[in-house]
Structure 1
Amino acid sequence: MLLALVVPFAGKLGDVQQDRAVDYLPAGADSTQVAKIQDSLPGGETTELVLVYHRDGGLTAADRTTAEDQVREIGAAHELAATPEGIPSEDGATLMYPVATNAPGQDEEARAAFVKDVRATATGTDGLGVEVGGSGAIQFDAEEVYGSLGGPLFLTTVGVVALMLIVIYRSPFLLLIPLISAGMAEVLARAGAYGLNRLFDTPVTTQSASIMTVLVFGVGTDYALLLVARYREELRRVERPYDAMAAALRGCGPAVIASSGTVAVGLLSLLVADLNSSSGMGPLGALGVLCALLAMVTLLPALLLLFGRRVFWPLIPAYGSEPKARRSLFAAMGSSAGRYPYRALIGGAAVLGALALGVFAMPGTLKQEDSFTDKPESIAALETLGEAFPDRGSQPITVITPTGRAAVTLTTAERVPGVEAVARGRSADGWTELSVIASAKPESAAETRTIGELRSALDDSYVGGPSAQQIDLEKTHSRDTTLVIPLVLVLVLLILILLLRSLVAPLLLIAAVVAVWGASLGIGGLVFGPLFGFEGMDPGLPLLSFVFLVALGVDYGIFLMHRMREESLAGAEPGPAALSALRSTGAVIASAGLVLAATFGVLLNLPMVMLVQLGFVVAVGVLLDTFLVRTYLVTSASVALGRKVWWPGPLSKRAPVPVPDRPAEEPVPVP
């Protein structure tokens, strides 16, 4: 019934999804204020382009005539802010025409139509190269990339999850049921995201919607794997499937709920971030996780019960049967950690520490021109301008100043070191727009100094534009990282303390996931440049990867430690309890880890460097967490600590009682 009601709203999410520059900027930054005030000026938002004409060996007279004719045609067809004037390079091989219009304003379709028409008009022939760049073209190309992500991302994610389920279950029904449940959770999440936007004006970008889809399928499938494994275990002990499902929900329900709560709380911590894209991603990600939880504890059990034991065909678990006895990989690994806990603990920590050193090889901050995996026309134009005008800015710095002080601001700006020219623009509502051209090329150290000098000299004005936005993004990411990371750690720690009734065990899990985060970033530092060819690291990568790896990594710790606590409550000593928990849940956790890593791995196929880097670091981190940290570090630490792992809870003092015989859980096949 609920799904029937929300389906129409799920389809409307694309209508409120926006990828404007302001949707990815810091809420309180100068550059964001500039973008907002520009919207209120006559004509609204300015769309700025640069037409770049280039011929190796030098432009001919015919080339210049062609350029003038095409620019004149563009001016006749569109309402331009000023008559474009050509600026030649010193070597005579390049000619650029700055073109700006306020006509489209905030109308994304009109702005896109303007860029397309300019590109259709500005064409080269017989060796004359023509490229359309500028901030408006870069934004258009970015929106084109983002607009192409939705369908392919969804289909690829579904395909990857389906493939993983085929390998894990080898059953047609167990392939379809979790997939159907995750699909319904995705519908519910999209409808909820639309509701958040309408009710609370929560920003929805392609980036946040894409991450939400990955989380729904990845986390939802993880919960399905855990529940199905426990249900199969109970079917061997309980005759009626309904009673077996009730027992399975009682057994793994607290772990699943705590897990989803941990992920949701971790993601909601992003609400305190100043960056609009991060603060908007928090509630959407949390919504996706909670929708996945709802589907996996309601719809999934109902579908499983509908088919009864036959859902496991061809490997149907019979009542009273014993799982096939076999030496599992995780039993062998657990035995190794149990025999030599200190050796395993020190060795594993050394490996993670060594990998974390790769952070020092991380490339510098990612520039705007390097943010695409495939070079669009706007970036090619930017590179051509950089070569042709190495000592001149090719994109304006925008200054918004009170109209009453516009003349003083213009004079002051002209005197700032590094400023080549200042032009007065539009005025309205007490604000005036000034366009500043720096002598240095965009996003260079010299231009950064010029922007800093402008902000110091013009303390009553706002300084923005594309380069200023990049500076504000980097500063805000640093601020958000120092604020959000401690908050995530405290909130996740509190949830773990409540669940495990211990202080030592939660601290152990937190330390483990932080170590995984450092090692994953280190691996990224080692491969981003040499293997992927990336020229820089997105400044938001450390924060986002931390939130995802801590929240998702603690998931698997919860599954393992909760089962260990069950064994301890039944009377087992911590050492045997840890090894038994690993044997029981190791294969399930491994399967879940492989699915989650594969879903985040889908991001590696996307054309945005930021999403590729995030997908790589999270996928690698999940695999490290699954096969190294959970298997060796947490298990060996639990064996080494003994009862102290449950301190100061009652389990740290309780004497063991006889443990009733219970069949071991049938392991899930791991590819």
Structure 2
Amino acid sequence: MMRRMVSWPGGRTAKWVVLAVWALVLIPALLLAGRLGDVEENDNAAWLPGDAESTAVVARAERFELADTLPAIVLYDRPEGVSAADMAKARADAEAFAGVANVVGRPQDPVKARDGKAIRTVVQVHKDRTGWEGIGRVVDALTEVGETDADGLGFHVTGPAGQASDSIRAFGGGGGLTTITAAVVVVILLLTYRSPVLPLLPLLTAGGALVTSEAVIYLLARDAGLTVNKQTGFILTVLVFGAATDYGLLLISRYREELLRHEDHHEAMSEALRRSVPAIVASAGTVAVSLLLLMLATLNSTQGLGPACAVGVLVGLVAMITLMPALLVVCGRWIFWPVRPSRGPGTAAGPGVWDRVGAAVAGRPRTVWIGTALVLGVMAMGMLGLRADGLSGTDQFTGRPQSVAGEEIMSAHFPAGSGDPLLVVADAASAERVRSALAAVPGVVGVSAPTVEDTTAMVLAELEDDPSSTAATRTVERARAAVHPIEGARAQVGGNTAILLDTQKAAARDSEVIIPVVLLAVFLVLMLLLRSVVAPLLLMATVVLSFAAALGVSGLVFRHVFGFAGTEASFPLLTFVFLVALGIDYNIFLVTRVREVALLHGTRQGALTGLSATGGVITSAGLVLAGTFAAMASLPLVFAAELGFAVAFGVLLDTLVVRSVLVTALTLDVGRWMWWPGRLFRRQDPPQPPSSKGAPSREPMLRGM
């Protein structure tokens, strides 16, 4: 029954039903997907853990104007020194800023730098439901005012509001990211299949899956409270294109094999679906389960990313095992033009690349896997130098946008921490004691008089260091240690620097909790799939080693090649989930084929034939996935470039080294113990003919993959 259901989309009548159903799904999906931006939450609440101290400060300080605002630090500069006319313009601009929508209160009076070369004004910007996009519109309005009649006076908006504005512009390149990702997929598929027509089918199917995913995520965000933001959007794009195309590649590879055995392409597709869908479903299920476990995160942004990406993977799976087969059988064999596979004997070509790799590994498998593991271990040592404690505002961008230029000007002419103070709330009766305690904290250079509303007081503490620096977050820790013990004060420290600190702590906690749970979940999935304990343990060990090596190399490249200051706090966790989930994909593709052959010919023959039969398609799939994640470097954001590089490099490492060399060598060395305690463990391998010399027997398939 299950085999019949799996092969149904390739039927003579069923293919038209499948196409009709997908057409009915895509019409409303196109409309809903375009509204995903309406439910994105890009303000701080979308990223903060709900129980963080800085979140509590926002709630307690709602009665104060600063509670739900971001400071826009407006800077004017003239290298030869600002004039009286420049100061007059700054004062006039401050009056004009007060009339801009979402500007809260009266802007701070312009302050001239001690060296006389710059002017600073602080404008408080309200964070409404539109989040960063709304802040971006305010910054645009401030810029329009400031650049009017400037007469050569430099103008920049920096601080948290300026950085938010530049971030939304950077994320605004999402349309370009989709185009680049699609182009990468087309190029790799053209090189893989050498057909100008065939790549269009997986591309169209992946595009339909992305649109449908975005529609489903929009509904979940609107009606079920799912948190999504711009980060979710660009990761979803590359993940759906990459993962869905991988599943399509595996199906097409098996379909081409079956076309050599069947005259009727409908029968070929039915057999291809029966043979490939279990591995594809297991692979997608593993990825989806791993992503769903991100719901255990305390960071709202990470918590929402997991279900959104899991939806993308599952919709991509459904599309590739229903829509893709229907399109293929509608087109027939001509879709492979100019090399149409036809029924007949297998190709008589000599041993392919993966045959030779298998033969080389089979000679001394233990030496090979020990040597490979040692090399990967050395690569992993680069993790020791990886800084994952967050990026400062000036380090978030790969280029030099307005906020970064403004930050440099402010650092050159004003105290580093000016304009973005800590917000400390306490009971009004204890306000003076809290103020005194803050004034004694190292790293705090100024404390305002308490502002009291009803029974709550708020005190502003100016920092000595850049508010987004590590030194500033340490000052927050000292400030909390100073005010928390004050009896009856209920003092809490918030503000943008406190938000950064709380985000770092939440990310560290999420990694400690989620990584072991993901490993356990993937291990259980592999046990059920392979009916073994040893094979899942070995596969998990190889994937973790591959992740560590990829992270180690990435850390070295980020510091010594790209010159990045560090990574976001959530970087290690997201890289781990993507690499472990996607890396186990290829091991599932390989080992399920190994087991299929081992049932007939023994584990040794299964390992060599499995590598030979899947080597080409898995390599192509790895190139597609690596290419789509590498496309993230098109966004001018350090986080996107780092995540894209780490996942792309890790996928290539897993595809070309771990899966082909390490896993194959381990399987050959361990032998039938790979399947312990399953039934296959009790089956002895047949003796090898003396003439074989470790060369794998070949299956009828196209070796050009």
- Do these two structures clear the TM 0.5 threshold for a shared fold by scoring above it? yes
Write out aligned runs for 1:103-142 (5 A): 105-108=128-131, 111-123=135-147, 125=150, 128-142=153-167
Residues 1:158 and 2:182 aligned together = yes
5+ residue gaps, structure 2: 1-23, 485-489, 689-695
Q: Do the aligned partners of 1:574 and 1:642 also contact (CA within 8 Å) in 2?
A: yes
- CA distance in 2 between counterparts of 1:252 and 1:538 reads 38
Whether the 8 Å CA contact 2:425–2:492 is kept in 1: the answer is yes
- 2:205 counterpart (175, 181, 184): 181
1:439 to 2:474 alignment: no
Letter in 2 for 1:565: R
8 Å contact from structure 2 (residues 422, 460) kept in 1: yes
Asked if the contact 1:364/1:535 (under 8 Å) is kept, the reply is no
Query: Partner letter of residue 8 of structure 1?
Result: L
1:527 to 557, 560, 570: 557
> Structure 2: which amino acid aligns with 1:377?
Q
Counterpart in the other structure of 1:203:
227
Partner of residue 315, structure 1? 339
SS of 2:234's partner is: helix
Offset at residue 219 of structure 1 (A): 0.7
Give 1:654 shift: 1.6
Structure 1 residue 264, shift from structure 2 partner: 0.3
Q: Deviations over 1:292-329 (max 9, x none)?
A: 10001111111111122222222222223322423211
Output the amino acid matched with 1:378.
S
1:113–1:5: structure 2 CA closer, same or farther, 3 Å change rule?
A: closer
- Please state whether the residue corresponding to 1:122 is helix, strand or coil: helix
Q: Residue 448 of structure 1: which of 473, 492, 509 is its match? A: 473
- 8 Å Cα contact 2:605/2:697 also seen in 1: no
Question: Who is 1:34 aligned against?
Answer: 57
The alpha carbon displacement at 1:344 in A equals: 1.2
2:5 maps to none
1:463 is aligned to 493
Tell me the CA shift for residue 429 of structure 1.
8.8
CA distance in 1, matches of 2:387, 2:474: 21
Instruction: Note the C-alpha offset of 1:443.
Output: 3.6
Q: Which moved more, 1:83-92 or 1:319-328?
A: 83-92
Give me the whole-angstrom Cα distance separating, in 2, the residues matched to 1:391 and 1:235. Answer: 68
- Report the CA distance shift for 1:456/1:307 in structure 2 as closer, same or farther (over 3 A): same
Counterpart pick for 2:425 among 383, 400, 413 = 400
Does residue 615 (structure 1) correspond to residue 615 (structure 2)? The answer is no
Query: Distance between the aligned counterparts of 2:249 and 2:415, measured in 1?
Result: 57
- Give matches, 1:340-355, under 5 Å: 340-355=364-379
Please give the per-residue CA displacement for 1:384-410, whole angstroms capped at 9, x wherever unaligned.
222223565442112233556556544
Question: Closer, same or farther in 2 for the Cα pair 1:77/1:624, shift >3 Å?
Answer: closer
Secondary structure at 1:534's aligned position in 2?
A: coil
User: CA–CA distance in 2 between the matches of 1:316 and 1:266?
Assistant: 39
Larger CA deviation: 610-619 vs 170-179: 170-179
Structure-1 separation of matches of 2:700 and 2:505:
50
Check conservation: 1:42, 1:426, Cα contact below 8 A: no
Mapped partners of 1:245, 1:77: distance in 2: 62
| Alpha-carbon distance change, 34 to 231 in structure 1, aligned in 2, over 3 angstroms | same
1:485 aligns with 2:520: no
CA distance in 2, matches of 1:423, 1:23: 29
Q: CA deviation at 1:112?
A: 3.3
Change in Cα spacing, 1:39 to 1:424, as seen in structure 2 (3 Å) is same
Between the aligned partners of 1:245 and 1:364, the Cα distance in structure 2 is 47
The corresponding residue for 1:64 is: 87
Distance 1:83 1:583, change over 3 A: closer
Match of 1:389 among 405, 408, 414: 414
2:68 corresponds in structure 1 to 45
The one-letter code matched in structure 1 to 2:644 is G
Three-state SS of the structure 2 residue aligned to 1:202 is coil
581, 586, 598: which is aligned to 2:627? 598
Distance 2:380 2:661 in 1: 18
**What aligned pairs does 1:287-298 form with structure 2 within 5 A after superposition?**
287-298=311-322
Instruction: Note closer, same or farther for the CA distance 1:424–1:142 as it changes in structure 2 (3 Å cut).
Output: farther
Q: CA deviation at 1:20?
A: 1.4
Residue 604 of structure 1, CA deviation = 1.3
Residues 258-283 of structure 1 deviation map (CA, whole Å, 9 limit, x = unaligned): 00010001111110011111111100
What pairs with 1:186-585 in structure 2 (closer than 5 Å)?
A: 186-363=210-387, 365=389, 366-390=391-415, 392-402=417-427, 406=431, 409-423=434-448, 432-459=457-484, 460-570=490-600, 572-585=601-614
After the TM superposition, which of the residue ranges 47-56 and 33-42 deviates more from structure 2? 33-42
DSSP 3-state at the match of 1:395: strand
SS of the equivalent of 1:399 reads: strand
Alpha-carbon distance, 1:463 to partner: 1.8
CA deviation after TM superposition for structure 1 residue 85, in Å: 2.6
Residues of 2 paired with 1:561 and 1:335: CA distance? Answer: 18
2:256–2:702: 8 Å Cα contact kept in structure 1?
no
Write the distance in 1 (CA, Å) between the matches of 2:346 and 2:107. Answer: 84
RMSD value, Cα = 2.6
Q: 1:177 to 1:406 in 2, by over 3 A?
A: same
- Deviation string 1:22-56 (CA, Å, 9 cap, x unpaired) is 21222322223334555675697224211223333
Question: Which residue number corresponds to residue 20 of structure 1?
Answer: 43
Mapped partners of 2:388, 2:31: distance in 1:
45
Aligned match of 1:642: 671
Q: 1:431 to 1:228 in 2, by over 3 A?
A: farther
Going from structure 1 to structure 2, the CA distance change for 1:52 and 1:255 (only over 3 Å counts) comes to same
Classify the secondary structure of the residue corresponding to 1:666: coil
Across the two proteins, how many residue pairs are aligned to each other? 666
Deviates more, 1:234-243 or 1:475-484: 234-243
Q: Given residue 309 of structure 1, which amino acid in structure 2 is its aligned partner?
A: R
Paired letter, 1:473 = T
State, as a whole percentage, how many aligned pairs show the same letter. 40
**Distance in 2 between the 1:294 and 1:658 partners?**
42
Distance in 2 separating the partners of 1:554 and 1:76: 56
Q: Give the unaligned 5+ runs of structure 1.
A: none
Counterpart check, 1:625 vs 2:648: no
Distance in 2 between residues matched to 1:587 and 1:77, nearest whole Å? 59
For residues 398-428 of structure 1, what are the alpha-carbon distances to aligned partners after superposition, in whole Å with 9 as ceiling and x for unaligned? 2233556556544543454443333468777
CA drift at 1:644: 0.7
Give TM-score, length-normalised by structure 1: 0.93
Is 80-89 or 172-181 further displaced after alignment?
Answer: 80-89
Corresponding residue SS for 1:400: strand
CA contact 2:526–2:536 (8 Å) conserved in 1: yes
Distance 1:478 1:285, change over 3 A: same
Deviations 1:613-671 (A, max 9, x none): 00000000000001101111000110000111111111111245799x9961424535x
Q: C-alpha separation between the residues in 2 aligned to 1:339 and 1:638?
A: 13
